[in-house]
Homo-oligomer: A and B are copies of this chain.
Amino acid sequence: MNLAELIAAASERLTPVERRIAAVVLEDPTWLAFGTVSDLATEVDTSRPSIVRFARKLGFEGFADMREHAQRGVTAKLSRPSQRIRHQEGSLGRAGAELTESIRHLFDGLDGPQLAALGDPLARAQQVWILSGETSLAAAHAMFSGLTMVRPNVHLISEHSSGRDLGGAAPGDAAIVFDFPRYRRHALTAATALGELGVELVAITDGPLSPYAALTQNWFALDVPAMGPFDSSVPRVAMAEVLVAYVATQLKDEAQVRIDRTEALWTATDTFLAEEN
């Protein structure tokens, strides 16, 4: 039973001042969720006891009770999707729901400016270095093969080659790291080293408490749903693909040329079966 219904039920018995109060809280429920009795009294230009009497007339114990009710309503609005997940049962179905939810989260949270902040460095950099934690290898590979299709000078850093490879890094380059708890020591040191070399860092990680969030402003947080005994890398791969798609649109012509060239190479080496259209 929401507030509007409660007010409607009591509406006949409301006094003039109480009607003014009702009008204000219906117009902006925020007054109820966040305000104090004094705030509301000032807003409605009445006395504090009138506010309390209003709450009682609606069936609450007092103002505090009414506020709790309003806050529950707001909380429900705010956290509906994530709670929905928790209520679903069945392991396969739940894993699927979590997965889709995390991807929905990704696309909801990524607005234009933010995507630009993450993607632009990768588009304009001289060279791009890709780092990843143990559980993010799939995303790093997706990033690497996608980015290689649309721009030159992309390097995937493996643990064994990093010392040698990173030597070529310089200001004007960009690095993108995929790393999540438990953060991989090697990825973090490499990222720090690149940062000190003047390389612009983009981080896909788990949240503001990540060590990478301290290294750069260009970070983005992903959910990490569970898939059986492991963390799912699906959202990370999705993120990698989104970034590749963005870079491709930014480098429109250059990317097209590269894609065509790769295609030609594949045709020449007879990589694919003949198409059947």
When the two chains form their complex, are residues B111 and A100 in contact, meaning their CB atoms are under 8 A apart?
no
Residues of B within 8 A of A60 (CB): none
Contacts of A232 in B (CB 8 A): 238, 241
Q: How far is the CB of A235 from chain B (nearest CB, A)?
A: 9
Quick check: B228 and A233 within 8 Å, CB to CB?
Answer: no
Report the minimum CB–CB distance from A231 to chain B (whole Å).
9
Interface residues of A in 6-53 (CB under 8 A from B): 7-8, 11-12, 14, 19, 22-23, 26, 28-30, 33-34
A250 to B93, CA, bound (A): 18
Interface size class of A (residues with CB under 8 A): 35 or more
Copies in the complex: 2
A210 cross-chain contacts in B, Cβ below 8 A:
11
A230 surroundings in chain B (CB, below 8 A): 146, 149, 241, 244-245, 248
Does A89 sit at the interface, judged by CB under 8 A?
no
Choose among A33, A246, A273, A275 the residue with the greatest number of B CB atoms under 10 Å from its CB.
A273
A245 to B8, CA, bound (A): 27
Considering the chains assembled together, what is the distance between the CA atoms of A95 and B99 in angstroms? Answer: 15
Contacts of A181 in B (CB 8 A): 275
Which of A170-178, A184-192, A194-202 interfaces with chain B?
A: A184-192
With known contacts A93-B107, A241-B228, A183–B137 Cβ distance under 8 A: no
Q: Answer yes or no: A259 CB below 8 A from chain B CBs.
A: yes
- Among the 9-residue stretches A71-79, A121-129, A160-168, the one with 4 or more Cβ atoms under 8 Å from chain B is A71-79
What residues of chain A have their CB less than 8 Å away from a CB belonging to chain B? 4-5, 7-8, 11-12, 14, 19, 22-23, 26, 28-30, 33-34, 71, 74-75, 77-79, 84, 87, 92-93, 95-96, 99-100, 103-104, 106-108, 110-112, 115, 134, 137-139, 141-142, 145-146, 149-150, 181-186, 188, 207-211, 213-214, 219, 221, 227-230, 232-234, 237-238, 241-242, 244-246, 248-249, 255, 259, 266, 270-273, 275
10 tightest A-B contacts by CB?
A: A228-B245, A96-B107, A8-B208, A8-B213, A182-B272, A138-B142, A7-B208, A100-B100, A227-B241, A4-B208
